[in-house]
Amino acid sequence: MAVCDKTYQILTRPESPYQEDIIGLLPYQEIPLEEATEFSCKNKAIRHPKETKGSNYHLTEIKDDIDCCTPGECC
């Protein structure tokens, strides 16, 4: 779920009552707050990943040399 910086800070700070229930992920590309565009925290629309990550985003990688799992097994 994407949230604005204010909400992210509220949910993830050490003294937050939500801190144990939230796993905050750092952005793939850091954008300084003074350069960031406004983010509507009231919009609950489900967005396509290409809208948030960009139309040319292709970072998902599956490693062929992982020893812990074989196809068809649950890890």
pTM for this model (two decimals): 0.50
Number of domains in the chain: 1
pLDDT tens per residue, range 14-38: 999 998 899 998 888 888 888 988 7
- State yes or no: pLDDT of 64 exceeds 90: no
Q: Indicate the average pLDDT of the chain.
A: 77
Q: CB within 8 A of 68, min separation 6: which ones?
A: 75
pLDDT above 80 (res 66): no
Domain carrying residue 10: 1-75
End-to-end CA distance of the chain: 25
Question: At residue 51, does pLDDT exceed 70?
Answer: yes
Q: What confidence score (pLDDT) does residue 63 get? A: 67
